Structure 1
Amino acid sequence: MSATPVVILTGAGRGIGLAILQHLLSLPTPPNILAVTRTITPALKSLSATHPSSSSDLETISIDLSTPPQELTSDIKSLIIDVAISRWGRIDTLILNHGTLDPVKKIVDSDGEEWERTFRTNFLSNVEIVRAGMGELRRKGGRVVMVSSGAAVGAYTGWGAYGASKAALNHFNQTLALEEPDVTTVAIRPGVVDTDMQKALREVHGSVMKPEEHAKFVNLKKSGGIVKPEDVGAVLGNLGMRAEKSLSGKFLTWNDDALAAYR
């Protein structure tokens, strides 16, 4: 059994998740990391080559977390939880970063299947991962870091499914803090981060959003006001390693004063 903390990180292949992974691996004493992703990206392959599994610090798993619950529950246990326990004998932290913005459509133009897929990805899969890993998290006094969104508390045209799923994630975080006092859980709003999602908002979804909504994201990019993935990734990674109990159940922006010690 490893004495080194074990982190399960989802959505690790690109954007914020990749930045979290790079930060964790750069620590003086990096944790053991199970990097979970739908697609093994070139960047993730490169990191895996630099940190081969024989060094006991990084292993990658490919899984589609939009899978229907009856299949996903079994996959999460066998492909994520059991793999981490079998390899390292413990789970200390879940950093739940995966998600999808789609469908970017007005409510009347979307359908139930699209909303269901969004909720499976952004919400229900997180519930299942937490449920499956809770025994280990309780045993280790572990941490759960959920990547939420400002869309959970503020609406944009066409973002209904995404915003609702993130609002559900926030409530899940609050409830988990009440029900599991031995586990520290926090939901973080990462801000407008320079990722593929933001590129799609600027270049693809402008016809759905109101002009002023679309202009906000275009202007943030032009002005340099967009958040760098490595900046928010460092905060999320540090929270995964040492979030204090006083943060449990809170929904905070990544650069909130309460998180100054994690930047």
Structure 2
Amino acid sequence: MSSTTNVLITGAGRGLGRGFLTTFLARPNHIVIGSIRDLDSTTAKDLRAITPASGSRLILVKIEATSMTDPADAIRQIEAEGVNKLDIVIANSGITGTQGGLETIDPADFQHVLLVNAVAPTALFNAAQPLLDKAENPKWVSISTLMATIGGLEKTAAWPSVPYSASKAALNFVTKSIHVWRPNITAISVHPGFVATDMGKSGIKFYNLPEEAAISVEDSVSGVTKLVDNATRAEHSGKFISYDGSVLEW
């Protein structure tokens, strides 16, 4: 029996997460673990209806982004279902929060965005690490944003979104930390492009940008997946990379 490639994707119910899920599930000999908020939802039913490739299967787990216990519960569930390693983890789940500059910040909203976008992925990593360590070439992928760049802030200053940008910058730090302190893991932060998801369209409308500024979910998923497939510890780990392969400033 062929060995499977096991992929965990958070926020798999829609947008990029769903795109990653369907892409990997269409590959033979893959176990795709998708996290959603409600296992009894219409979304869960729709995902279970996707036909996997030969030797592949889907496991849905509950991870609510503000829960610090759901990640560990999800890992215990997949272990009980026979998953003994994780080859790829894509920390995709995230929210925008209040858009705007410093003067628009609501402290409670800022805390919530930091919890979902930075703290929750850290809890996920700590829960998933034992299974990542059992993979031959484990990869951790943080879905970040160009708007998280600190070195290039002047280039993105026209589109302020302080809680979102700061939380993703924190996620970038966590990703770089994984690279530095976990030498067996290839860890990258990825800018998926400005994507025509519900969240992306909201940003385009808020900043009064042309609709053609967005790329399709399919193009983004294709670019990110190619990057993940080819990512190596020596060449890519510890870097902030765009979906098109270009390296970005931290």
Asked if these proteins are the same fold (TM beyond 0.5), I'd say: yes
Residue 121 (structure 1) shift: 0.3
Aligned pair 1:132/2:127, yes or no?
Answer: yes
- 1:89 maps to which residue? 84
In structure 2, the CA distance between the partners of 1:124 and 1:13, relative to structure 1 (3 Å rule), is same
Unpaired runs of at least 5, structure 1: 207-213, 259-263
- 1:8 maps to which residue? 8
- 1:232 maps to which residue? 220
Residue 228 (structure 1) shift: 1.0
Aligned pair 1:77/2:76, yes or no?
Answer: no
Preserved contact between residue 2 and residue 29 of structure 2 (Cα < 8 Å): no
- 1:247 maps to which residue? 236
Residue 50 (structure 1) shift: 3.0
Flag the structure with more relative contact order, 1 or 2, with Cα contacts below 8 A and sequence separation at least 6: 1
Preserved contact between residue 188 and residue 237 of structure 2 (Cα < 8 Å): yes
Residue 56 (structure 1) shift: 5.9
Preserved contact between residue 23 and residue 230 of structure 1 (Cα < 8 Å): no
After superposition, what is the alpha-carbon deviation per residue over 1:65-92, rounded to whole angstroms, capped at 9, x for unaligned?
A: 123xxxx1x22101x2112222122222
- 1:17 maps to which residue? 17
Question: Number of residue pairs matched?
Answer: 235
Q: TM-score, normalised by structure 2?
A: 0.84
Structure 1 distance, partners of 2:98, 2:45, is 29
- Identify the match of residue 196 of structure 1 among 192, 195, 198: 198
Structure 2 distance, partners of 1:250, 1:43, is 33
Q: Which runs of 4+ in 1 moved over 6 A?
A: none
Preserved contact between residue 66 and residue 121 of structure 1 (Cα < 8 Å): yes
- 1:261 maps to which residue? none
In structure 2, the CA distance between the partners of 1:254 and 1:162, relative to structure 1 (3 Å rule), is same
Aligned pair 1:33/2:32, yes or no?
Answer: yes
- Identify the match of residue 167 of structure 1 among 162, 166, 169: 169
Identity of aligned residues (%): 26
- 2:139 maps to which residue? 143
Which has the larger helix fraction? Answer: 1
Over aligned residue pairs, what C-alpha RMSD do you find? 2.4
- 2:148 maps to which residue? 152
- 1:115 maps to which residue? 110
In structure 2, the CA distance between the partners of 1:12 and 1:139, relative to structure 1 (3 Å rule), is same
Structure 2 distance, partners of 1:57, 1:150, is 33
Structure 2 distance, partners of 1:50, 1:76, is 24
Any idea what SS the aligned residue of 1:139 has? coil
- 2:45 maps to which residue? 45
Unpaired runs of at least 5, structure 2: none
